[in-house]
Structure 1
Amino acid sequence: PQDSTLPGREAFRDDSSAPENSIAVLPFRDLSPGRDQEYLGEGMSEEIINNLVKIEGLKVTARTSSFAVARRELDIREIGKMLGVAHILEGSVRKDNTRIRITAQLVNAMDGFHEFSESFTREIQDIFMIQEELSIRIVQMLKDKFDIGPDKDRLSTYRTDNLDAYDLYLKGQYELNQGTHQSVQKAIQIFGELIRMAPDYALAHAALSRCYLVQGVFEMEDKDVAYARMEAAVNRAMELDPELAEIQAAKNLSEFWKSGWNLGKYYQIITRAMAANPGSAELRMFYAMYHLISGRTDEALMEIQLAYRLDPLSMPIRLRLVRTLYCRGEFEKALEYCNAILEDNPGFIPARGSKAWILALSGDYRQALDEFQGLPERTMVEDYKYSGLAYVHTRTGKPAMAYQYIEKIRERTGKGELKTPDYHFAVIYKAMNKEEDMFRHLEAGIKNRDFNLLFLKSDPLFKEYHSDPRFIRLVKHMFSGGQEGKFIVLQTDTHEQFELNLSHLYYIAAEDNYSRIFLLEDKTLREKLLRITLKGIQQQIEDPDIVRCHRSYMINLAMPFEIKGDASGYFLTSKDFKGKIPISRSRGKQVTASLRERQV
């Protein structure tokens, strides 16, 4: 694959990398007498970040990086270099009985001089007003400097009028963001208490659904149980406030997991949310995952690079960058970034598991064996350890040793500790060249919605099978949702992005440097002219149903074409359009056979 041009970690320490319209918001320090309001300071900062990322043209460092770097007790100028921003907002909160004092300073990260300072001393019940006022004040100042404008309606931070409820909401979000089994369970308890206090607080139900989603995806709880609870929480949130963007996203994510990987819905979620929050590193990461799931590793790399630049210290983003490089076969660079993660957090188990697999696919079996053996048991990576050890032993000519790890996986499955073992079995049988067993487990894993198989189209372990008809049939109906599940985004020569539902696509006709796309929507044939050649479209569509039948035409084999002509020359007609589509002689046999197979 083409080599990626990724910035090294030092790139984020160069003054030239800090555009003027960029800012990081550090967590507000807790100066309360009891030092027990840390969550309030973090909540204040997070609300301001949430408001600032909605401003188009403003680069805002994500919460994870700005909060992580703040704990290092560095000079403001060092923080600015590390995060690649020109301005830093810092502040403090001090709660004393019923009053709260909030101080905020905007500092120039290049020279350390203050650009403005504001202080608010109010009754605690006015905290929502303070957040909104401070956000608008900051953005107004930035507008004056950089000609970017705040939209007061979009900056509104009001969520609930119940201060105690808001207090619990911040505590719950704080725990959920920690990402451990224990913290997720604690977040569930907090949101449960919050809902008992304020049963009509819609965001609390949406946050609770996210907790259950995490539990289900990572099998912290029985998936069916977790997803049922997730769906109930989302439905209640929709009843209370269906227009709220966070709740719409929660609803669609719930549908994606509950209804069986509806990739079209996933695309709609992410693009809609990104339009409302263009500076969100997390959404960029989710968009990169969408491309990786779809098998488009170039687009995935581009999006994860953007997320990484916005949030260079986020562990999930850094890990996803490693995964993307791994999927592209750029093992040396993936290992470099993986080692950087482990330098900062040597005990980060997912990164240790990733490193082991990178080494294995690089052919460094000796070191890979050491890494797999060092992975702890009774953790999220236990099964990757077993399948990895079986893979390495098989590759090094010791297949008999692999069977003990197959038995370990079976034992965990029998005890109910592992609900979806098929990916791991498929990896092992692939190493053993037992293709029939491999495909059997891949098929079972897709049927059981094994999370590991979401990225099957990009997984380098199975890359050699991408042109295998068995693999093509397997992934063809991998994502549910019928017509909603086959979205791609075409990039035109004019840099326009066109969202194309492949299930609506009828055919494409070339017109010089343009292509005319014909779509069947609501039983009506519609057309769209794009500045892109037919070859350019063909390079972007990877779907076995969309084929070139002539130098000037591409067709969707799933559409009801009628085959006319004979061996001396075939063409296609349909009741849905007038005219006919020619089939070139070189493609005639293959295209007509494929159409007849579909029409049986």
Structure 2
Amino acid sequence: MRAQKSIVVLPFQNISKERKHEYFADGLTEELINTLSRIQELKVTARTSAYAYKHQSEDVRKIGKDLGVALALEGSTRLAGSRVRVSVQLVRTKDGFQIWSERYDLDFKDIFQVQDEICLTIADQIREHFGHFVFEDQLVTSATESMDAYSSFLEARYHQLKWNVDHFQTAIRLYERCLQLDPTFHQAHYGLVQCYGMLATWGAMDREEAMTKADQHFTEGFKLNPHNFEAYFAIANKAMWVEWKPNKALGRLNQALALKPHDPEALEASAECYLALGDFEQAGHCIDRAIDVNPLSANHFFIQGNIHYYQGQFQEAMACYAISLQIDTEWEMSRQAMALTYVLTEDRPGLGEFLFANPHLKDVQFFGPLFDALHHGKKMPLEALEESTDTYLPWKFWALWYAGEEEKALEQLQFGIDNQLSQYIYFAHDPVNRPLKSNETFIQLAERVFDKLPAAPLPADKVESPLISPADQLAYATKLNKLMTEDRVYTEPSLTLRKLSAKMELNTNKLSWLINEVIGKNFNEYVNGLRLEAFKKNAASPNYREYSLLGIALDCGFNSKSVFNEFFKKQEGITPSAWLKMQKE
């Protein structure tokens, strides 16, 4: 089902002569996604799902259905020296109808102004077509005064999102160049934090050196701008995965979500925090919201599967893991979880088939012995332990416990907790550990593993108060009625909410609220309704007998034949010509 106030920004095409300028097309796409995502009541498809359609020729109607969005923004960029051409079109996914299009020819130094204009126009169009919501008069501000620094930033981000070691190293060089050109560009510092963090995690760089550099850049970025999404998100990640303090992490994630209410990464991170605390209901709520804006994320469905898995809802978990693997057949964490769930459901044939189909599964040699240990009381062999690195699952702990080495197993569990190894963070809820639930040491470890602050709930939806006081509503409604009935401003084909607000001398957000909440229609329904009544009156009048139906419609303010015909049939249930014929009978 398509949410009405919803949009996907599809990857812009690079039509520059040089392929290397693709970074600019991708960068502009991501900037538009990030900006629109900050509007509270607007559902914006996340980058991961939007980029599933990069270099694809998928019909926009199918894209809208797959992603559950009403609108799609398509575009292209051409970069030549300091000159830029940006072409955009806003398309209704229900039927492929183009609502708005524009072409911008500009100097690169004006790119922030154009980004703001595009985002404001999109927000205006959605509000006019689908109903009221509030947003600021300026959505984009200049990230830097150095356009060379901004160009380097976009190029660095382009390489960072390629997610491999060589591209991370290229991104680091470009982020560093960005900071040489503008030392105050805080986003570049946070980009370096992410790159060094990933190189450390992947073992592609000395861990201590990489983490030292990441900490240095985080400190510098935080000094420059402590109150931004990247800062809150970075602090939350450190609190969760380095300090194992999920409550502290949730506090920072709430601050991040206050700035970007629908960010799927922050929502996913919140789900992981609640999962660690055993609050499965809140975890499910968060991951459902993440999937709503990012339905093609393999990791979101992996997390959703985990929420079911840790509650012992194994069939539901496997369904989620299956979706994750449909999205990305190589998503190793979902493959690991799927194999483990076959073990817990006592499905030996299913496990065998899955392992046969995935011969390169990490630590594949342990699943069969774990099955026999859990269901047939056989001890796990310890010979293979040296081959395990606990990459995804805590095999060292499990193998020791199910080999009968309980004391060593608990020492290994303590080691995993003391060193904040991610494979152990959910140990208190893992169904594999059910035999330990009565073990006193296990109970004590589970009770003291996390910070004991009360879990921070997600911010509640705000209850909006009227934007216009009851005393002023009648006055403004009367003024609006005069503009429409006496001045007939609805006959202006280019009339927009912003133009009407200027005539009303009333803030655009307030006028939108007045039309939607007091009159009970969105802007397009209201204005086109007046145009339709004028058309019907004129079409039935002898004075307009020599006019074509389209001529009368255009005279009443409709700006195209397709808009007129669609609105008329939606309201009257028949075509204009059929309606006129009925009037003559």
Common fold by TM > 0.5 = yes
- Between 456-465 and 276-285, the greater mean CA deviation after superposition: 456-465
Task: Please report the RMSD computed on the Cα atoms of aligned residues, expressed in angstroms.
Answer: 3.0
CA distance in 2 between counterparts of 1:71 and 1:398 reads 53
The answer (yes or no) to whether the contact 1:106–1:114 under 8 Å persists in 2 is: yes
| 2-structure distance, mates of 1:256, 1:326 | 20
Question: Partner residue of 1:368?
Answer: 351
| Native 8 Å contact 2:87 2:102 kept in 1 | yes
Partner residue of 1:341? Answer: 324
Other-structure match for 1:198: 182
Determine what percentage of the aligned residue pairs are the same residue: 26
- Per-residue deviation, residues 204-258 of structure 1 (Å, max 9, x unmatched): 1111112233344555555444332221110111222233332343245345555
Counterpart residue type for residue 90 of structure 2 = L
Match for residue 385 of structure 1 among 346, 364, 367: 364
**Match of residue 426, structure 1, among 397, 406, 416:** 397
Give 1:81-96 correspondences, 5 Å limit: 81-96=65-80
Correspondent of 2:384 among 389, 405, 408: 405
Match for residue 52 of structure 1?
A: 36
Q: Is the 8 A contact 1:238 1:248 kept in 2?
A: no
- Any residues of structure 2 matched to 1:197-346 within 5 Å, and which? 197-217=181-201, 220-254=204-238, 256-258=240-242, 260-346=243-329
Q: Which moved more, 1:190-199 or 1:233-242?
A: 190-199
Alpha-carbon offset, residue 325 of structure 1: 2.4
Residues 243-295 of structure 1, C-alpha deviation per residue, up to 9 Å, x if partnerless? 3332343245345555x223232011111111221122222111111111111
- Give unmatched runs, 5+ long, in structure 2: 464-585
Q: Are the equivalent residues in 1 in contact too, given 2:301–2:323 (CA < 8 A)?
A: no
Q: Which residue of 2 aligns with 1:352?
A: 335
Cross-structure match for 1:519: none
| Contact persistence 1:55–1:150 (CA under 8 A) | yes
1:38 aligned residue? 22
Which residue does the alignment assign to 2:455? 488
Q: 1:431 and 1:402 mapped to 2: Cα distance?
A: 9
CA distance in 2, matches of 1:314, 1:473: 36
Give the Å deviation of 1:56: 1.6
- Partner of residue 78 from structure 1, selected from 58, 62, 81: 62
Q: Deviations over 1:348-392 (max 9, x none)?
A: 333322222221222223443564576576xxx73x435435424
Relative distance call for 1:137 and 1:391 in structure 2 (3 A) is same
Q: Aligned in 2, Cα 1:405/1:48: closer, same or farther, shift over 3 Å?
A: same
Provide the C-alpha distance between the structure 2 equivalents of 1:335 and 1:121, rounded to a whole number of angstroms: 51
Whole-Å Cα distance in 2 between the matches of residues 94 and 26 of structure 1? 16
Higher-strand-fraction structure = 1
Aligned length: 462
Q: Could you state the TM-score of these two structures normalised by the residue count of structure 2?
A: 0.72
TM-score, scaled relative to structure 1: 0.70
Match of 1:471 in 2: 442
- Once residues 424 and 225 of structure 1 are traced to their aligned partners in structure 2, the CA distance between those partners, rounded to angstroms, is 28
Find the counterpart in structure 2 of residue 148 from structure 1: 133
Q: How does 1:557-572 map to 2 (within 5 A)?
A: none
The answer to whether the aligner puts 1:125 opposite 2:125 as a matched pair is: no
SS at match of 2:73: strand
Paired amino acid for 2:429: S
**More relative contact order in 1 or in 2 (CA 8 Å, sep 6+)?**
2
> How many angstroms apart in 2 are the aligned matches of 1:495 and 1:131?
28
- TM-aligned CA distance change 1:229 to 1:376, over 3 Å: farther
User: Counterparts of 2:330 and 2:104 in 1: how far apart (Å)?
Assistant: 41
Residues 401-550 of structure 1: matches in 2 within 5 Å?
402-409=381-388, 423-466=394-437, 468-479=439-450, 486-489=453-456
**Is contact 1:89-1:105 (8 Å) kept?**
yes
Judge conservation of contact 1:353–1:372 (CA < 8 Å) in 2: no
Q: Given that residues 230 and 254 in structure 1 are in contact (C-alpha distance below 8 angstroms), is that contact kept between their aligned partners in structure 2?
A: no
8 Å Cα contact 1:19-1:85 kept in structure 2: yes
Counterpart Cα distance in 2 of 1:368 and 1:42:
41
Change in Cα spacing, 1:235 to 1:270, as seen in structure 2 (3 Å) is same
**Which has the larger share of helix?**
2
Any idea what SS the aligned residue of 2:135 has? coil
Change in Cα spacing, 1:491 to 1:69, as seen in structure 2 (3 Å) is: closer
**Alignment match, 1:542:** none
Q: Deviations over 1:439-484 (max 9, x none)?
A: 221111101111111222332222454464422310233235xxxx
Describe the shift of the 1:400–1:467 C-alpha distance in structure 2 as closer, same or farther (beyond 3 A): closer
Which one has a bigger Cα radius of gyration? 2
> Given the superposition, is the C-alpha separation of residues 447 and 223 from structure 1 closer, same or farther in structure 2, using an over 3 Å criterion?
farther
